[in-house]
Amino acid sequence: MCGIVGYIGQKEAWPIIVKGLKRLEYRGYDSSGIALVADGIKSYKKTGKVTDLEAFAEGKALGGKVGIGHTRWATHGEPSDRNAHPHLSEDGRLAIVHNGIIENYGPLKEELASRGHVFQSDTDTEVLIHLIADILKEEKTDLLEAVRLALSQVVGAYAIVVADRESPNQLVAARKGSPMVIGIGEQEYFIASDASPIIEYTRNVVYLKDQEIAFINADELLIKTIDNEVHTPYVQQLEMQLEMLEKAGYDHFMLKEIHEQPRSIRDCMRGRIYPQEGMVQLGGIKEYAEKLRNADRIIIVACGTSWHAGLVGEYLIEEYARVPVGVEYASEFRYRNPIITERDIVIAISQSGETADTMAAVELAKERGATILGICNVVGSSIPRLTHGGVYTHAGPEIGVASTKAFTAQVTVLTQIALYVAQLRGTLPQSKLVELLTTLQDIPLLVEKALNCDEATRYIASEIKDATNAIFLGRGIGFPVALEGALKLKEISYIHAEGYPAAEMKHGPIALIDEEMPVVVIATQNSSYEKVISNIQEVKARKGRIIAIVTEGDTAVKGLADYVIEIPHADEAFLPLLATIPLQLLSYHTALLRGCNVDQPRNLAKSVTVE
């Protein structure tokens, strides 16, 4: 979850690394640090954000054309200056930055301590750099070989970059289970956890694969495996645009990304749906059409917001393709003994493509013989490489930690998959397929219309900003929307919020309702509309404050609710793509009024690459 940046070349490293760390702060912002290699190693690190590091280092010696940097999401050891990265070897010769967890750091630390090593931090990372230094000294080898030998003893996940004051013109990088990309410039290389710090300087990149180690100097990139096999680097071209990483006049990345959803949903469908022909084409899974046609079951594995998208997928696939679907938390799926057969399809959903629990679930299902398909946003990430096939969402970089456009893009892909499988299995009349695809094509325009609720959500936020709890209710396909709305509110405003199926409210949660409790209800005109009205009346009888998401023109709910937000009418299948919009804006404005950092909420990170 941490962010790593490295540079080696002809330019000054400090400004490049600082800018890169700022682009990676969505991965962690408990502390940050930079080590520069010039007349030894100069290391600067500070608790807090990268701006705190800049202030701390002002006026200090910041020269050097080789350096490594890190922005941290704490795992081992509390956020503090001494636990911040980079970490140094005991003699100060080596510096390391690390994203991941070394699971066997305890026994390694005990062994090193018995040999006289003294540690300055609580981190597993410091143990690793001591181990590398120990091997370097005892084996009298070079840095690349010392790193390789050390990593052969490590259990866990890592992306690391190591610098050496005795070889000041080289860096060694490696990865296993955590992402790392190397940008190739003119006599310079850029190393980062993802492409966002690199795109400003070069489009030529190499995505390091699991258990690969890179030796880098200004003139050479050599890649080996932990087993000492030389690999030829595969250079790819980045498709990302630099302007995607800027706020473009918006106050926050989250607000920008909310307003990007008409574009991101449209991009997600481009070249994939043909409404007039009533046809869906998904090239990334075309090879597995026969398996999808004959699948006994589809299992969706995901975490967090992606899990909510998976629940929407369950409703749509079962409704239209008539295939049984199970939606599993990846973190739970991997730690039990699930029943999986060769006739099962497993769909793994991850915005980053690096979610550790989802990757582990994929590997388990693969071992059991299932066909694995992925839904990811980041091209070149780990899950697309692990799966048999898949579909990219093409949402573009999502910098705000609370997911917005990635969620609606995932739902859009799942909608297309549902209709594609229905097309393969012949479970939908052609006329209905044409109707649904025609509406889906118009969804970006309807989302633009839904975004007009900004003023209404800002006012409602001012009314509920002092609440300590909230309940979100939905029925049918509106239930996952309620879950996602509750997650957004608690993530960025720190108001405790829970999503429930509306009918379940009377089986317990109704005890919480009083005049102080905001109750957000998905009350659009669909198959369960009358039932939802009954649920609203139950809340009203207990004096709860009702915020209703309704279909434009609704009159019945308006007479019951305290606050109403209208969204455009569409087929029930597309409710999640429209009803989610006001819930995102409501959370955003509530968080702002409470003085919260909407882009970097406390304790969270964008890409959960550790277990």
DSSP string, 498-536: EEEEGGGGGGTGGGG-STT-EEEEE--SSTTHHHHHHHH
> Domain-by-domain residue ranges, the chain?
3-243, 248-428, 452-598
pLDDT of residue 610: 52
Q: Note whether 3-243 and 248-428 share their fold.
A: no
Contact 518, 464 (CB under 8 A): yes
The Cα-based distances of 155 to 109, 131, 150, 152, 250 in angstroms read 13, 13, 11, 8, 43
Q: What is the pLDDT of residues 420-463, one digit of tens each?
A: 999 999 999 999 999 999 999 999 999 999 999 999 999 999 99
**Can you spell out the DSSP letters for 334-365?**
TTS-----TTEEEEEEESSS--HHHHHHHHHH
pLDDT of residue 244: 64
Q: What is the largest CA-CA distance in the chain?
A: 80
pLDDT of residue 148: 94
pLDDT of residue 379: 79
pLDDT of residue 607: 58
Q: Tell me, which fold does domain 248-428 have in CATH?
A: Rossmann fold (3.40.50)
Q: Tell me, which fold does domain 452-598 have in CATH?
A: Rossmann fold (3.40.50)
pLDDT of residue 567: 96
Closest CA to 301 of 214, 343, 361: 361
Bridge partners for 552 per DSSP: none
pLDDT of residue 344: 96
pLDDT of residue 241: 65
CA 492 to CA 584: how far, in whole Å? 10
pLDDT of residue 583: 98
CA 293 to CA 297: how far, in whole Å? 11
Q: What is the second-level CATH architecture of the domain 3-243?
A: 4-Layer Sandwich (3.60)
Question: What pTM value is reported for the model?
Answer: 0.82
First to last CA, the chain: 10
Q: What is the pLDDT of residues 479-512, one digit of tens each?
A: 999 999 999 999 999 999 999 998 887 788 788 8
User: Torsion angle of alpha carbons 512, 518, 523, 527, nearest 10°?
Assistant: -20
Bridge partners for 222 per DSSP: 215
Residues of the chain with pLDDT under 70: 1, 240-245, 605-611
List residues with catalytic annotation: 2, 606
Looking at residue 292, its amino acid is: L
